[in-house]
Structure 1
Amino acid sequence: MLRRTFAALLLALATVLGLSVATAPASAATPVTTAAPASAAPEPFGATVLIGTGGITWTDVSAKGTPNLWQLLRDGSSAAMSIRSVDTNTCPLDGWLGVSAANRAAAPRAGTGPVQQRPCDPIEEPAGGVIPRWEEYQKAAASRQFDAKLGLLGEAAAKSDTCIKPVGPGAAIAAAMPEGTADRYSPYSDETLLVDLNTCPVTIVDVGSVRDPADVAAGETVEGGSRTEQIAAIDKRIGDVINAAPGGADFIVASLSDAGVTERLRLAVARGPNFGSGRLNAQSTRQPGLVQAQDVPATLMAITGIEPPTGLGGTRMTFDPAPDNSEARAEDRLQALVDYDLASHEVHSLVPPFFNTFAYGQLVIYLLVFLVWKGKIGGPDTRRKVLGIVRVVAVAAASVPASTFLANLIPWWRFPIPMISIVGAVGIFVAAIAYAALRGPWARSALGPLAFVAGVTVAVLAGDVITGSRLQLSSLMGLQPVVAGRFYGMGNVTFALFATSSILLATAVSSYLVRAGRDRIAALAVIVIAVGTVIVDGAPFWGADGGGPPAYIPGITYLILSILGIRMTWQRVGLIGLGSVGLFFVVALLDFLRAPDNRSHLGRFIQAIIDGNALDIVVRKGQQNISILLGNAPLTLLVPAALLFVIYVLARPTSWGSKGLAKSFEKAPTLRAGLIALVITLTIGFLINDSGTAIPAVGATVAVPLIVSVVVRNLEEDLRSVAGTRRARRA
């Protein structure tokens, strides 16, 4: 009866997984795509003008320096915009090709070395309405993984009988047909601007892009003066375009490219009948005031009556209205937009040194523990002090991941030295979490600090995902808007932290209950934790993670079966392995049954099997993971280090000169099963996720320090016991 009851609960857990994945959106590790809406697009309202530029951020905007952009900010809707295309930085050509394809696209760059360090080619004027190098651009788009179709915007407009007038060479690329022609093209000229802006209901204007002399790649020629002078000239052209346009027109101004080799968030602002004073939003990011460059052509189609084709890389931008269009409101919005830009820009450069320091620091902890356990450091009294220090450091280290998210509650990017301010912000929360873990009533138990830190990590990540992933955005271990891989939900790093902490929390809770003789309640408690984890991770409105639940459920199932006393045999191990593989294909098939534009990489793998390309994907994933493992030290050094550590713990718990490990398993009866469950989850996560090498590496940043803290606590008790025995003998 008992086993049937828990079998039913496990079936319910699997059902939750199926429902979550079946309705989850496409993995945000790939560009967001949207299907064409079933209903007709809204009727166009007057004229629409898309003004494209590049290299301008919200930090460049002020009432005095850029009066026209300031008026648009005050009277229109604004957002920070992620412009990531194919390469790390985005050239002006790339930005305009992206508008043409309504997806990520980029032109090939001449030269050798990293693409980011190669100069951007200038945009050439069309000759007789023909775009120069168009076939070259098409070949480059076809060779990339984003399925970009150049000329998509122009073709969609033609099919909808919508006239588009391109003004300027970049606009010609945006409005071009698939064969590379832009028949209505006019070069930008003050003398013809009035006529050009009143030729078609839709006008696209290239007002030029900023190329920062201090930031462009070596060999690139910059014209137009300093960065400040270029911005002022572009702002004037924007004003000229607005003045020449028909009354009642909608204006969309988008900075589509970077100013040089440095990638940053840029600006987007819209004003007109469809956009009042307020904040721009897009479903593609689910973040207020943050949009993608791919949202620009999607919005242009939506408000002009152009029937959007399937597979767009973005979604229509909407706006949240402000109470008024006062100068004070504009100042407040500008500050929020500058915060977006500065936080994403500053944290992006701090991530590598953070991971370097964090990874090497953890390796030092492991070495110190090894030397202490082997008796290489000091005598019994000294070792007890060292063990106390190691325990504090281990708990503090395990508190770092959650603290990196909580640090975004403090606007650290506004301080003069971001490195110091973010370290200080993280340190505040590390100190608070570690102090509570080591000083609370639970600290008397070896598993107490583990349960507390794991619980805090689960609560922080779950709470953040449920409330919109605000803390993850531009955090040291979270989502990077300039990378534009994912803007919400559970990515690989977040899943690794969330799943690891969930399993450790379940292990601590179940150990306490099993020791109290409540095995059934222990198993039920683990199932409750597991169901909550799967829902938060897989639900499309929260975690939206297609690859997480298939990795998490096999591991947590092993823990539940161990609690129930179902002895593991090689046959059952094989069945669990086959079940894990089967679960992957079930989830992948459920994902495959969704609309093609909404599938994640799991559903696309089923399609690849049908098409006969599955082996190529398996080989590519393997090569990608090996490349990350070998090419991204020191973080990935935690993978073999942590794996060897855990295997050694599980295989020979008494072999390090003390019985601390064995006593840890005795005092925490589900600890060994919990560690095995964790290894199962992290291994499957590594195998089935893109860039999955990060999953065990990041999981180790929480798991290993907490395991060390448990074992060290038992070693301290051993030393106290030995010292007491010696004192008794002397007496």
Structure 2
Amino acid sequence: MTRRWLLLTAMAAVAFFAANLALSWLLARPAHQPMEQPGPTIVVAMPTLTWDDVSPEYTPTLWSMAQQGAVGNVITRSIAPHSCSQAAWMTMSAGARATWGYPPGQTGSDGIVDPCPYAPRPQQSGAGAVFPRWPAWRQQSMARAIKADIGSMATMLNTRGQCVAAAGPMAAYGAADRSGRVARYWPSAQQADLEACPVTLVDLESTSDLALRQLLNRAPLDATIVVTGLADDKTPERLRTVIVSGPGVPQGMLRSPITRQQGLIQGTDLTGLLVQRVVKDPADVLLEGRQPFVQPETDADASIEHVYGVSKALEKEHQLVAPFFYTYVVVVLIALAVGLLLLRTRGPTGRRWFALLGAWCGAVPVSTFLIGIPPWWNAPSPGIALVGGILGIAVVLAAAALLGPWRTWVAGPAVFLASVTALTIALDVTHSSRLQLISIMGLQPVYGGRYFGMGNVASAMYASTMLFAAALLAGRWVQRGHPRLAALTVAAIGFAAIVVDGHPSWGADAGGPIAMLPALAYLALNAGGIKVTWQRIVVVGGIGLLVVGGLGYLDSLRPPQYRTHIGTFVAGFLESGQTTALQRNVMLNWQMLTSQWVNLFVPVLLVLTMYALMRPTSRVGRPLARVTERVTLLGHGLAAITICWLIGFATNDSGTAIPPSGMLVIAPLVILVAAWQGRSAPKDVLRRQAARRPAETAARQDAPAGSR
């Protein structure tokens, strides 16, 4: 039996690695290249500029730059969801997310944008300008949980002999040094001398292509030109256009070590580009800004199409998040009511109804990722294509679950859907592909702070489905009388899952392994028939901290530009005792929990789930107990999932999203197990049981009457 287990494990590992290699081959791209700046660098802000505004007919200057240089989208969000020009320029001046005053919140469903706060204009001082209150602003900025040393970019350049000039009052916020002084200043772009300083920041205050052409006609021939949208201002939040062109800029798509996505950079990476003029590695001197690179691409139209598609996809899917899920919940509740009615009046029909509903609902979450494979945003009606595609893929997966060879096992369809979900997310994060980035349940990069790796929603789905599948597969070895192999099954699946989730180059997740390891240990101990004690719980918790801490420490040893947020936190803590990231996690989780009244039900949901599992004879626990009795280890699997939710809820920056996200996929799978008709044990176990029954019956018949 051990040989059989080894063979099955080896086959699963080979299949996973083969899928990884095939995907790596399909996604292979040329190595990225650095950008050189042989002459001055001119950064031109055209606030609110998006790729919708760029075309060969209406913006020929921008289009020509895009055809010759590197293109991308810039994430303008800083601390607030909505970005204003003064905060965006201050972010550039700090190389870290900065804010100003009381910025407007996220645009509501009505599309009305609150006004940006008033920003004082600089005072002219000789050939330059000064902000008299800058030292006070800097002190406030450094006192925040998320620190930003405003003025550090200009100070670094100025002290190395490269002054920073500004044209326009908003650009002065980016060109000011730590004292608030701007080396050269002109109130408007028309007055600017583009050769006065090696770096010039220009605020055009419009998206006029004519104004841009008139400005660039005065630029030196060897200048590196950066044109970007930079801020949202009076328009709803979007990814903004960024184009870099010049003699030292390769053709292709911009890429950042922070985002690890083709054609996507942060506003702080523009600081990295400017600081690169005087510092070999901007990561050595900037808190967040990194040196952007170019992913070479010979087809300029393909590059523009890619970055435009990502921008359009993120805009459309964000608009549909709330309507989609509200409608989905209502439809599911109606379907549940219909199912209960059918169950009362026509038992078998009601059971089949619940099996179909469970399979379809269990397939919807992973379908929100898989729909990112085809370019649905290019359809005539992108919203219909997105929603229709999600529902259609879910139908296909549900059919595969119910009709595949695994259908003969009572838990087979549910394990199939759980495995597809976990493997899809695993393959996506190991390749930094776009599925999670643009999913309706994905990273939401316009509003979030993560652009690759394992987001909280994906982490909840990944861990939940992994534990679900591990428990039910291990249960088959328990039924065969091999608890040791059952425990090894959990350990093998769990080890692979933690490596994918916690590896700095893949999932780059700290909270995930912390939550998964105790849950896996609990499940493995029960699968192996070993008693769970407090001593063992403490040991497992210690191992979990060592694993995550070890991964973080190894990540901190890498160069700063290649570290993830885990390595950056560990490095900061070891070097200077910084706990800013930890404080931010606690603050964000509390804000998310209290931001909407419905979020307060998350702890209640956790308590009810734990109560139902701990008290199976109670009114709340009886329905669940009837399901867990059907499949070996299902009860322990659900308990492990609940442990994972509880720890994830407490340790992640947006942990409030973890329990409901996990339940969104696990609840339908439990319904599917409850409704599906099939074998409760493997064939070989049933054959042995059938062979024993005649012998046991004969033995009872031959026994003396007094011994019966």
What TM-score do the two structures reach when normalised by structure 1?
Answer: 0.79
Partners of 2:644 and 2:106 lie apart in 1 by: 38
Question: Is it true that 1:706 corresponds to 2:669 in the alignment?
Answer: yes
Partners of 2:235 and 2:246 lie apart in 1 by: 34
**Cα offset for 1:524?**
2.1
Question: Is it true that 1:561 corresponds to 2:554 in the alignment?
Answer: no
Q: How does 1:411-450 map to 2 (within 5 A)?
A: 411-450=375-414
Aligned to 1:724: none
Q: Deviations over 1:335-366 (max 9, x none)?
A: 22221111111111222223334455566677
Secondary structure at the aligned position of 2:73 is classed as strand
Letter in 1 for 2:412: G
Which 5+ residue runs of structure 2 have no aligned equivalent?
Answer: 3-33, 681-708
Question: Is it true that 1:467 corresponds to 2:431 in the alignment?
Answer: yes
Q: Deviations over 1:242-277 (max 9, x none)?
A: 221222221111221114141001111111122132
Q: 1:514 aligns with which of 475, 478, 482?
A: 478
Secondary structure at the aligned position of 1:503 is classed as helix
- Cα 1:360–1:606 shift into 2, 3 Å: farther
Q: How does 1:179-328 map to 2 (within 5 A)?
A: 179-188=179-188, 190=190, 192-193=191-192, 196-208=193-205, 210=206, 231-232=207-208, 235-303=209-277, 308=282, 310-323=285-298
Contact 1:664 1:714 in 2 (8 A): no
Q: How does 1:632-651 map to 2 (within 5 A)?
A: 632=596, 634=598, 637=601, 640-641=604-605, 644-645=608-609, 647-649=611-613, 651=615
Q: 2:634 aligns with which of 671, 674, 683?
A: 671
- Cα 1:75–1:603 shift into 2, 3 Å: closer
Q: 2:354 aligns with which of 390, 396, 399?
A: 390
Aligned to 1:681: 644
**Cα offset for 1:637?**
4.3
Q: How does 1:25-40 map to 2 (within 5 A)?
A: none
Secondary structure at the aligned position of 2:302 is classed as helix
- Cα 1:708–1:647 shift into 2, 3 Å: farther
Which 5+ residue runs of structure 1 have no aligned equivalent?
Answer: 3-40, 211-230, 324-328, 718-731
Contact 1:99 1:297 in 2 (8 A): yes
Contact 1:77 1:276 in 2 (8 A): yes
Partners of 2:503 and 2:586 lie apart in 1 by: 28
Partners of 2:568 and 2:276 lie apart in 1 by: 28
- Cα 1:121–1:137 shift into 2, 3 Å: same
Aligned to 1:539: 503
Contact 1:105 1:148 in 2 (8 A): yes
Partners of 1:188 and 1:254 lie apart in 2 by: 18
Q: Deviations over 1:539-585 (max 9, x none)?
A: 111111111111101111111111211123xxx14541564266337
Secondary structure at the aligned position of 2:372 is classed as helix
Q: 1:692 aligns with which of 655, 665, 672?
A: 655
Question: Is it true that 1:347 corresponds to 2:317 in the alignment?
Answer: yes
**Cα offset for 1:641?**
4.0
Letter in 2 for 1:481: P
Secondary structure at the aligned position of 1:117 is classed as coil
- Cα 1:50–1:486 shift into 2, 3 Å: same
Q: 1:84 aligns with which of 77, 80, 84?
A: 77
Question: Is it true that 1:580 corresponds to 2:541 in the alignment?
Answer: yes
Secondary structure at the aligned position of 2:469 is classed as helix
Moved more, 531-540 or 635-644: 635-644
Q: 2:90 aligns with which of 94, 97, 108?
A: 97
Contact 1:451 1:508 in 2 (8 A): yes
Partners of 1:638 and 1:366 lie apart in 2 by: 22
Partners of 1:278 and 1:536 lie apart in 2 by: 30
Partners of 1:415 and 1:79 lie apart in 2 by: 22
**Cα offset for 1:526?**
1.9
Partners of 2:587 and 2:196 lie apart in 1 by: 53
- Cα 1:698–1:307 shift into 2, 3 Å: closer
Partners of 2:594 and 2:105 lie apart in 1 by: 23
Contact 2:37 2:224 in 1 (8 A): no
Partners of 1:604 and 1:102 lie apart in 2 by: 17
**Cα offset for 1:654?**
8.8
Partners of 1:332 and 1:112 lie apart in 2 by: 35
Contact 1:513 1:522 in 2 (8 A): yes
- Cα 1:576–1:388 shift into 2, 3 Å: same
Contact 1:160 1:305 in 2 (8 A): no
**Cα offset for 1:471?**
0.5
**Cα offset for 1:95?**
1.5
Moved more, 72-81 or 476-485: 476-485
Moved more, 583-592 or 197-206: 583-592
Contact 1:92 1:123 in 2 (8 A): no
Secondary structure at the aligned position of 2:346 is classed as helix
Contact 2:521 2:540 in 1 (8 A): no
**Cα offset for 1:412?**
2.6
- Cα 1:393–1:634 shift into 2, 3 Å: farther
Partners of 2:652 and 2:516 lie apart in 1 by: 12
Q: How does 1:99-118 map to 2 (within 5 A)?
A: 99-109=92-102, 117-118=114-115
Moved more, 48-57 or 489-498: 48-57
RMSD: 3.6
Letter in 1 for 2:544: L
**Cα offset for 1:236?**
2.1
